Structure 1
Amino acid sequence: MDKADVTPRVWQRILDIRAGQGCPCCGDWTAGERSALNIYAPLARRDMGPMAIGQIGQSLDGRVATASGDARDISGPDGLRHLHRLRAIADAVVIGVRTALHDTPRLTVRLCAGQNPARVIIDPRGRLTDDAPALRDDGTRRIVVQTVARDRPAGVEVVRLPSLTDGTLAPRQILAGLHELGLHNILVEGGGITVSRFFEAGLLSHLHVAVAPLLIGGGPQGFNRITQIGSLADAPRPETQVCDIGSDILFNCTLTEAARHRSENWHSTAGAEWAFRQS
């Protein structure tokens, strides 16, 4: 198992790559630093097309909260830092309204250097109150995707879409709406149902599952497939890099051919472009 070492110089290189001002190939890296680059550098590049990353932090027994809804300490400190790094890499972070109502997340970057992504709430019926933490005006773009004609405070963008027959929104239309707003690298953070719907729609290029060493025994699952299979032979088996990130173990799953190309070639073109810019 690889052990990632996200040193300050590694993370600065990731931020440079995200800004189009650095390459991931040059440098004398330790094995742990190279492992960290393998995780984050493919996701930081902006010249390999749009992507959507699903992220789940869960217990050993696959839970994301207790039966009473306590989810605050599921991930260990390094699992939380990993989540904040993904936020810093993304153009936008997406959550469902149930997560916004129950967990009241801020969706900001606080545990690493980097800019806050745009905050996107999927709220078909307009249930989220205007004073929710995710909608606070802190200079970051705030977006609500909804079906109803509900006004939002000044500065909050609304993407209005038609609902499906079950009252939900089509993940493909949500992504298309975000792309129209100039947001192309998307982190689908939660909850488990929202991540699962994007997965079922075939829209996730990568899935990160950070497993913390605790057993809960009950409560909601981190991943809920809508499509049921009758045989394990029919179960998806994505290419997976298993990595020790400290307090948690990361399963870095590659789900599409585009993601595979990104992961296999993240170090080549970027290096050439950087060398050209430096010459």
Structure 2
Amino acid sequence: MQTVEVTARVWDRILALRQGRGCACCGRWSAGERAALSLYAPLARRDLGPVTVAQIGQSLDGRIATVSGDARDISGADGLAHLHRMRALVDGVLIGARTALHDRPRLTVRMCKGANPARILLDPRGRVPDDLEIFREDGARRIVVQAVDRPRPSGVEVIHLPEGDGWFAPGDILAALQMRGIGSLLVEGGGITIGRFLEAGLLTRLQVAISPLLIGAGPASLTLRSPVARLADAIRPETRSYGLGPEVVFDCALSPEAVAAWAPIHAAPVVAAGGI
């Protein structure tokens, strides 16, 4: 397992990579900074085409909340900072209606340098009220995907898609978002939404962040409609693990493109420390 150290200079390099400047290989970096480049550069790169990444924060026993639904402290400070960094590296962050109603997330970048991504809500039947934080005006794009003809606040982009059994086809969602310039997407929740994208084979990578606590009961971190009956049929992605303080992140590559993204863009000569 690699221990991640996100210093100001390595984060500046990662943000530069997101803007198409610099690379993830040149420079004199500590072991922790190189681990940070390995973890975040695949999300920052824009040379490998569209990326769809999902992130799950869970306890040691695989729970994302208590029986009563309390999920606020499932991730500690290191896990939350990691999630905010992921948001800063994508074009848009997507959640389902249940997550919006229960967790009321802001979906902003507050714990690191970077721009807020577009906030995208899947609300097939238009049940999410317009006064939630995700709809506030702060300069970031706000997008709602819905099947009903329901007006939304001024400035909110509405995408109409057909639904089936209360849900949208993940491929239709991605196609509609990519047509609107969302090339890199973070599917942040919840577990059912992430499971739909995973089963459709549309996730480039999956990150599972495990916090050192035991809950004992509550909703599971990932829910699939068609779980495997035999371990021989289980998804076995190529995986790297990273330590962020007391938390561990498993970065799972779900496509050849995701594996390729771990490799440096080029093998240029080493430059002075801190160069971009």
Q: Are positions 1:268 and 2:266 aligned together?
A: yes
Considering only aligned residues, what root-mean-square deviation do their CA atoms show, in Å?
Answer: 1.4
Secondary structure class of the residue paired with 2:11? helix
Report the Cα distance in structure 1 between the residues aligned to 2:177 and 2:228, rounded to whole angstroms.
Answer: 31
Partner residue in 2 for 1:47:
47
Q: Are positions 1:62 and 2:62 aligned together?
A: yes
Is the 1:146–1:159 Cα contact (8 Å) retained in structure 2? yes
Partner residue in 2 for 1:276:
none
Secondary structure class of the residue paired with 1:213? coil
Secondary structure class of the residue paired with 1:54? strand
Shift of 1:202: 0.5
Note the residue ranges of structure 2 that are not aligned, 5 or more in a row.
270-276
Shift of 1:167: 2.0
Report the Cα distance in structure 2 between the residues aligned to 1:19 and 1:142, rounded to whole angstroms.
Answer: 22
Secondary structure class of the residue paired with 2:134? helix
Q: Are positions 1:120 and 2:139 aligned together?
A: no
Mapping for residues 238-277 of structure 1, pairs under 5 Å: 238-264=237-263, 266-268=264-266
**Amino acid of the residue matched to residue 7 of structure 2?**
T
Report the Cα distance in structure 1 between the residues aligned to 2:64 and 2:266, rounded to whole angstroms.
Answer: 37
Is the 1:84–1:112 Cα contact (8 Å) retained in structure 2? yes
Report the Cα distance in structure 2 between the residues aligned to 1:242 and 1:179, rounded to whole angstroms.
Answer: 30
**Amino acid of the residue matched to residue 247 of structure 2?**
D
How many residue pairs match? The answer is 270
Q: Are positions 1:191 and 2:184 aligned together?
A: no
Report the Cα distance in structure 2 between the residues aligned to 1:237 and 1:76, rounded to whole angstroms.
Answer: 27
| Deviation readout 1:190-223 (Å, 9 max, x if unpaired) | 0111111111110101100000000001111111
Partner residue in 1 for 2:226:
227
**Amino acid of the residue matched to residue 57 of structure 1?**
G
**Amino acid of the residue matched to residue 214 of structure 1?**
L
Secondary structure class of the residue paired with 1:187? strand
Report the Cα distance in structure 2 between the residues aligned to 1:30 and 1:267, rounded to whole angstroms.
Answer: 19
Mapping for residues 4-15 of structure 1, pairs under 5 Å: 4-15=4-15
Among the aligned pairs, what percent are the same residue?
Answer: 58
Partner residue in 2 for 1:171:
170
Report the Cα distance in structure 2 between the residues aligned to 1:267 and 1:11, rounded to whole angstroms.
Answer: 17
> What TM-score, normalized to structure 2?
0.95
Report the Cα distance in structure 2 between the residues aligned to 1:246 and 1:267, rounded to whole angstroms.
Answer: 28
Report the Cα distance in structure 2 between the residues aligned to 1:228 and 1:103, rounded to whole angstroms.
Answer: 26
Report the Cα distance in structure 1 between the residues aligned to 2:246 and 2:134, rounded to whole angstroms.
Answer: 27
Shift of 1:247: 2.6
Partner residue in 1 for 2:273:
none
Mapping for residues 39-118 of structure 1, pairs under 5 Å: 39-118=39-118
Shift of 1:171: 0.8
Note the residue ranges of structure 1 that are not aligned, 5 or more in a row.
273-279
Report the Cα distance in structure 1 between the residues aligned to 2:10 and 2:225, rounded to whole angstroms.
Answer: 38
Is the 1:118–1:140 Cα contact (8 Å) retained in structure 2? yes
**Amino acid of the residue matched to residue 69 of structure 1?**
G
Report the Cα distance in structure 2 between the residues aligned to 1:20 and 1:235, rounded to whole angstroms.
Answer: 36
* Structure richer in helix, relative to its length: 1
Secondary structure class of the residue paired with 2:159? strand
Is the 1:77–1:247 Cα contact (8 Å) retained in structure 2? no
The structure 1 segments of at least 4 consecutive aligned residues displaced by more than 2 Å after TM superposition are none
